[in-house]
Amino acid sequence: MTCQSKVAVSPKVTSSFVQDVQAIVGKSNVSTADAVRQQHGHDESYHSTEPPDIVAFAESVDHVSQVARLCNYHGVPLIPFGSGTGLEGGVNAVQGGLCLDVSKMKNILSVNAEDFDCSVESGVTRVQLNNYLRDTGLWFPIDPGADASLCGMCATSASGTNAVRYGTMRENVMNLEVVLADGRVINTAGAGRRTKKTSAGYNLTNLFVGSEGTLGIITKATLRLQGIPEATISATCHFPDVQSAVDTTVQVLQCGIPMARIEFLDEVSIDACNKFSHLDLKVAPSLFFEFHGAEAGLENQTKVVAELVKMNGGSEFRWATDVDERNHLWKARHEILWACMALKPGSKPYSTDVCVPISNLPQVVVRTKQMITEAGIIGPMVGHVGDGNFHVFFPVHYDDHVTLKKVHDVSHKMSLIALELNGTCTGEHGIGIGKRDLLVQEIGAEGLAVMRQLKDTLDPKGIMNPGKVFF
Ligand SMILES: Cc1cc2c(cc1C)N(C[C@H](O)[C@H](O)[C@H](O)COP(=O)(O)OP(=O)(O)OC[C@H]1O[C@@H](n3cnc4c(N)ncnc43)[C@H](O)[C@@H]1O)c1[nH]c(=O)[nH]c(=O)c1N2
Ligand SMILES: CC(C)C(=O)C(=O)O
Ligand SMILES: [Mn+2]
């Protein structure tokens, strides 16, 4: 686990190949400069930088299609690059090749306000879309902390703090335009289709959601939108221990309260947030809640949740009712990765991401906390607990191999506990290069072989993001 990068140029990327790429996307959209290759050879994770041999910037689906056809012909690895905010090394060019940056395709193609949907090109980010929607009364709720590209979010099946109410990318994508390895362009639900439901054949859309660039390049996404709620209330409270906070979450959901957000932060992450984002919360295991709905309904919901908090030994609510206060709170939550890294200056994130059925959550959280304490490492715990999903954001230094090994061991054991409890090794960050060994344990050898057959059918030469998801 070093930070060294590969300098050798793949023998397949010859000067005539570079010229062919330039002829497709234009000279100014191609770079073999070291700085550009380095920048495209890593995401926000701790994985070592692996630069591609060449970076090309696409400006249209036609560019993407022609570049794919060229790479396929020459057998050159093709790595799609959205905004590089991934956390499992998904863009790292582990076998060299061509990195295709699709961030210049930034058009919001349509917004159908009456139908609650929109279509965006591959470079449109979630913040760009929500700014654009501001005056329509609509919003797109899926919110990974980073301002990721929406097509990259499709590729990793991202979610975030709102998933407990609004679902993940899987539930919010209606159609995708995808360029396959051989350059063919398909629409996974048929050209122009944007229905809320369909029983027409196989669900190709969801085959590409979470495919991490290994099956094709997503050039357009048709997404569901939501109405901005009439009223929004946020509140925080703290608990004597982790177990009581997680028990409260389970009970709130069992009561059928339609929570918009329930986020857990342990005392280490609260401390990190206080320091980094200038909050003054009590340093204790805490829950951040958000309620969306009509004013009248919210009063009842907040009352029930406050009672459950009290029954579990939690504190009074601290309300964040006005917009500025609320934005400050959720901005702090979204910046928590960097807050945790600031606990150890110069560190990079080693993040974990397990998800279990909600009733098994207390067990996995409490066992993880014990492992972190026993290992004597810094391991702030943060969870989208309403989904049974939680993370530990370990700050690591590349050269501290002793701590890295401890972190890796705890992280691996956490995933095994999640699998043992009918859960998954990744709720939202994906497999990338870091969790390939866990995927086989999760899906089983036969299930994985079927995934492999699908990959071989769509990408027989294996050019699409090789070394990711599978070994
Ligand atoms: C501070 C912070 C906070 C968070 C997160 C990151 C960071 C830095 N994330 C993770 C991250 O934002 C998420 O993985 C994004 O969905 C990745 O989108 P990018 O555009 O950055 O893809 P990026 O460029 O990083 O690529 C990720 C993978 O998708 C592929 N890919 C990208 N664009 C593609 C395209 N158009 N077609 C095909 N394949 C493509 C790549 O090849 C790669 O395998 C997250 N996530 C989450 O789910 N919940 C969260 O709460 C957070 N929070
Ligand atoms: C920081 C990141 C990785 C995240 O998933 C979160 O904040 O929930
Ligand atoms: Mn998360």
CATH number of 76's domain: 3.30.43.10
Q: What is the mean pLDDT of residues 80-102?
A: 97
Same domain, 199 and 274: no
| pLDDT tens per residue, range 137-172 | 999 999 999 999 999 999 999 999 999 999 999 999
* CA of 238 relative to ligand 2 center, distance in Å: 20
Structural domain total, the chain: 3
Tell me what pLDDT residue 269 has.
97
State which of 227, 256, 288 marks the end of a domain: 227
The answer as to whether 177 is a domain residue is: yes
- What is the model's pLDDT at position 46? 87
For ligand 2, whether the C-beta of 336 sits within 6 Å is yes
Looking at the structure, do residues 220 and 245 belong to the same domain, yes or no? no
pLDDT of residue 296: 86
What's the CATH code of the domain at 406?
A: 3.40.462.10
Q: Name the percent of the chain lying above pLDDT 90.
A: 94
Q: What percent of the chain has pLDDT over 70?
A: 98
Q: Are residues 241 and 373 in the same domain?
A: yes
Which residues lie closer than 8 Å to 58 by C-beta, 6 or more apart?
Answer: 25, 29, 64, 67, 100, 101, 102, 104, 105
Identify the pLDDT of residue 255. 94
Band the pLDDT of 398: cuts 50, 70, 90. confident
- Provide DSSP, 381-417: EEEEGGGTEEEEEEEE-TT-HHHHHHHHHHHHHHHHH
Q: Is residue 451 part of a domain?
A: no
If you average pLDDT over every residue of the chain, what do you get? 95
Does residue 114 share a domain with residue 82? no
In short, whether 351's Cβ falls inside 6 Å of ligand 2 is yes
- The answer to whether the beta carbons of residues 454 and 216 sit under 8 Å apart is no
Name which residue sits closest to atom 8 of ligand 2, judged by CA: 160
* Predicted confidence band of residue 7 (pLDDT cuts 50, 70, 90): very low
Amino acid letter for position 441: Q
Compute the Cα dihedral for 352, 431, 428, 126 and give only its sign. Answer: positive
For residue 43, what pLDDT is reported?
Answer: 96
Domain contains 5: no
Q: Which domain holds residue 35?
A: 15-101
Q: Is the pLDDT of residue 185 over 50?
A: yes
Q: What is the DSSP letter of 429?
A: S
Using 50, 70 and 90 to split pLDDT, how confident is the model at 321? confident
Supply the pLDDT for residue 467: 97
Per-residue pLDDT averaged across 100-109, rounded? 98
Same domain, yes or no, for 277 and 395? yes
Q: What is the pLDDT of residues 250-294, one digit of tens each?
A: 999 999 999 999 999 999 999 999 999 999 999 999 999 999 999
For every residue of 198-267, which 3-state class applies, written as one string? CCCCCCHHHHHCCCCCCCEEEEEEEEECEECCCEEEEEEEECCCHHHHHHHHHHHHHCCCCCCEEEEECH
Give the ligand 1 atom nearest the CA of 161: 51
Lowest mean pLDDT among 64-68, 295-299, 316-320, 333-337: 295-299
pLDDT at residue 11 in the model: 74
Given a cut of 70, is residue 469 above it in pLDDT? yes
149 lines ligand 1 (CB under 6 A): yes
Asked if pLDDT for residue 378 goes beyond 90, the answer is yes
Q: What is the pTM assigned to this prediction?
A: 0.96
CB 439 within 8 A of CB 455: no
Bridge partners for 288 per DSSP: 236, 263
- Whether 465 and 213 have beta carbons less than 8 Å apart is answered as yes
Alpha helices in 335-468 (DSSP H): 336-341, 361-375, 401-420, 436-443, 445-458
Residue 9: pLDDT band (50, 70, 90) is low
Rounded average pLDDT over 318-346: 94
Task: State the CB neighbour count (10 A cutoff) for residue 207.
Answer: 17
Name the pLDDT band for 3 (thresholds 50, 70, 90). Answer: very low
In a domain, 458, yes or no: no
Q: Return the closest-CA partner of residue 29 out of 60, 62, 56.
A: 56
Is residue 221 in contact with ligand 1, taking CB distance under 6 Å? no
> Could you tell me what percentage of the chain is helix, strand and coil, using 3-state DSSP and rounding each to the nearest 5?
40, 20, 40
CA distances to 224, 225, 321, 396, 434 from 112, rounded to whole Å, are 10, 9, 31, 45, 39
SS3 state of residue 113: helix
* Per-residue pLDDT reduced to its tens digit, 198-255: 999 999 999 999 999 999 999 999 999 999 999 999 999 999 999 999 999 999 999 9
Same domain for 235 and 328: yes
The pLDDT assigned to 84 comes to: 98
Pocket test for ligand 2, best of 43, 45, 87, 394 (most atoms within 8 A of CB): 87
